[in-house]
């Protein structure tokens, strides 16, 4: 049973989450990084950079070395390695240094965080470097974790980029949109790594949703759940995408898309990890469910509520109503609907879109909004103030838009 965990890259996207989860289950945690900023509460810090060996003070003297583990996440992007003849560069040599001192101290477990793209012949450098390092883990107690497409938590790393892209762009050009990705929530990654720490597996273990979904579905789900919008996807050839990367790298003020990342995604192959997950006793939640636990999903529900409630009320809804709306959507285990942004800007236009069919999702949401309005003081004030004139206007408007609504029926 491991009782002390040393995390390299402990202030990064996954690292921070791992450190928090380890602390939560009662382990002591030391974080190795250059600076002591952004550390989770309760963890101790040791200055360290890739290439250094294990600092003396990072081990917990109160715990046997065999009950301590290293989770190695740090990766130097500025110094990628794996050019023609550097054999993995700093990432590999640095990992080697850490590994050597870990062996020297008799540390019980060494978990190296690798990637789904790790392959000898990977298209991207990252994948080739990760693969090369995996080969160095040849002692008992050493294992690599190949992690799928990580999402969730405070948006960072690739996830942050995807959240931004799906939010900003009206449509998304994409290389091979039908290629499968295997998402996994960052909390599940943390959980998986900690289980791996207490496990005896060697070689590599996969941490990802065992059955992939197409990257297109991934992005469209993200667009719906986080931004309440539908996102048309335009397939583009790889060559064109790389050209795009080159262009974005030159133009300022637009998000740059990294060539490495594009190659990484394009080169991904299926990660057979069902057996690994079973061995670790883990099930991975569907993407939708994972996203719905995120603040981004609640923000999208609030934005939708703001539009629907404003439409029903004829005025901006008060905070309490918005909160109720989001709570109802969450209680139903649902997320935001994909809806045109025009309706969020001009809620009264929903009159054109309100379906006549009572079973359509939008009709159900509008009825929910009406119920919430009716049972709120703000709604009661609005209803008590409405008069024959407001009704007449309402009937005229309804009559005018009826043909449109009938048309939408099909």
Least separation, in Å, of the C-beta of 55 and another protein? 51
Q: What are phi and psi of 315, to 5 degrees?
A: -160, 160
Nearby residues of 163 by Cβ (< 8 Å), 6 or more positions away: 155, 222, 226, 296
Binding another protein (rule: CB under 8 A), the pick from 2, 329, 336, 338 is 329
Binding to another protein in span 297-316, by CB under 8 A:
311-314
Q: Can residue 328 be called a binding residue for another protein (CB under 8 A)?
A: yes
Residue closer to another protein by CB (options 28, 328) is 328
Q: Can residue 374 be called a binding residue for another protein (CB under 8 A)?
A: yes
Least separation, in Å, of the C-beta of 217 and another protein? 23
Stretch that binds another protein, among 38-46, 145-153, 183-191, 384-392 (CB under 8 A): 384-392
Q: Can residue 324 be called a binding residue for another protein (CB under 8 A)?
A: yes
CB-CB contact of 326 with 301 (8 Å):
yes
Binding another protein (rule: CB under 8 A), the pick from 76, 349, 354, 408 is 354
Q: Can residue 409 be called a binding residue for another protein (CB under 8 A)?
A: no
Residue 236-255 contact track with another protein, rule CB under 8 A, x = bound:
--------------------
Residue closer to another protein by CB (options 29, 369) is 369
Least separation, in Å, of the C-beta of 65 and another protein? 50
Q: How many CB atoms lie within 10 A of CB 131?
A: 22
Nearby residues of 295 by Cβ (< 8 Å), 6 or more positions away: none
Among 123, 224, 240, 258, which Cα is nearest to 174's?
240
Q: Which residue is associated with the tokens 């009709």?
A: 363
Q: Can residue 198 be called a binding residue for another protein (CB under 8 A)?
A: no
Residue closer to another protein by CB (options 36, 320) is 320
Among 56, 46, 91, 44, which Cα is nearest to 72's?
91
Q: Can residue 397 be called a binding residue for another protein (CB under 8 A)?
A: yes
- Return the structure tokens found at 205: 């273990």
Among 44, 51, 256, 297, which Cα is nearest to 161's?
256
Q: Can residue 202 be called a binding residue for another protein (CB under 8 A)?
A: no
- Return the structure tokens found at 98: 């850490």
- Return the structure tokens found at 410: 């099909």
Stretch that binds another protein, among 51-59, 242-250, 262-270, 325-333 (CB under 8 A): 325-333
Task: Reduce the secondary structure of 306-341 to three states and give it as a string.
Answer: HHHHHHHHCCCCCHHHHHHHHHHHHHCCCCCCCCCH
Q: What are phi and psi of 214, to 5 degrees?
A: -70, 150
Write out the residues near another protein by the rule CB under 8 A.
311-314, 324, 327-329, 331-332, 334, 351, 354, 356, 358-359, 361, 364-377, 379-380, 383, 386, 388, 390-391, 394-395, 397-398, 401
């Amino acid at each position: 049973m491991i009782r002390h965990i040393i995390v390299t890259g402990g202030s990064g996207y996954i690292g921070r989450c791992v450190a928090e989860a380890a602390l939560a289950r009662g382990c002591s945690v030391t974080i190795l990084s250059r600076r002591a900023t952004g550390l989770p509460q309760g963890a101790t810090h040791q200055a360290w950079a890739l290439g250094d060996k294990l600092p003396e003070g990072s081990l917990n003297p109160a715990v046997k070395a065999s009950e301590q583990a290293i989770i190695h996440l740090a990766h130097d992007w500025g110094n990628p390695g794996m050019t023609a003849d550097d054999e993995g560069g700093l990432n590999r040599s640095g990992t080697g240094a850490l590994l050597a001192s870990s062996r020297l101290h008799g540390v019980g477990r060494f978990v190296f965080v690798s990637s789904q793209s790790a392959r000898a012949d990977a298209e991207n450098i990252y994948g080739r470097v990760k693969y090369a390092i995996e080969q160095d883990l040849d002692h008992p107690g050493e294992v690599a974790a190949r992690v799928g497409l990580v999402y969730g938590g405070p948006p960072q790393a690739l996830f942050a980029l995807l959240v931004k892209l799906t939010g900003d762009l009206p449509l998304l050009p994409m290389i091979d949109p039908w290629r499968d990705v295997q998402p996994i929530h960052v909390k599940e990654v943390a959980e998986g790594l900690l289980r791996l720490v207490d496990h005896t597996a060697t070689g590599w273990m996969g941490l990802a949703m065992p059955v992939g979904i197409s990257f297109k579905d991934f992005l469209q789900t993200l667009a719906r759940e986080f931004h309440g919008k539908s996102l048309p996807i335009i397939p583009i050839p790889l060559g064109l995408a790389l050209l795009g990367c080159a262009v974005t790298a030159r133009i300022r003020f637009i998000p740059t898309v990294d060539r490495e990342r594009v190659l990484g995604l394009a080169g991904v192959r299926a990660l057979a990890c069902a057996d690994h997950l079973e061995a670790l006793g883990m099930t991975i939640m569907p993407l939708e469910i994972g996203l719905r636990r995120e603040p981004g999903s609640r923000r999208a529900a609030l934005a939708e509520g703001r539009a629907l409630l404003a439409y029903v009320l004829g005025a901006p809804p008060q905070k309490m109503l918005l909160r109720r709306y989001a709570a109802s959507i969450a209680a139903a285990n649902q997320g935001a609907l994909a809806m045109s942004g025009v309706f969020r800007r001009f809620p009264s236009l929903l009159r054109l879109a309100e379906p006549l069919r009572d079973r359509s999702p939008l009709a159900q949401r509008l009825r929910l909004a009406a119920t919430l309005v009716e049972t709120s003081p703000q709604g009661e004030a609005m209803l008590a103030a409405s008069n024959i004139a407001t009704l007449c206007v309402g009937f005229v408007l309804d009559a005018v838009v009826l043909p449109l609504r009938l048309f939408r029926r099909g």
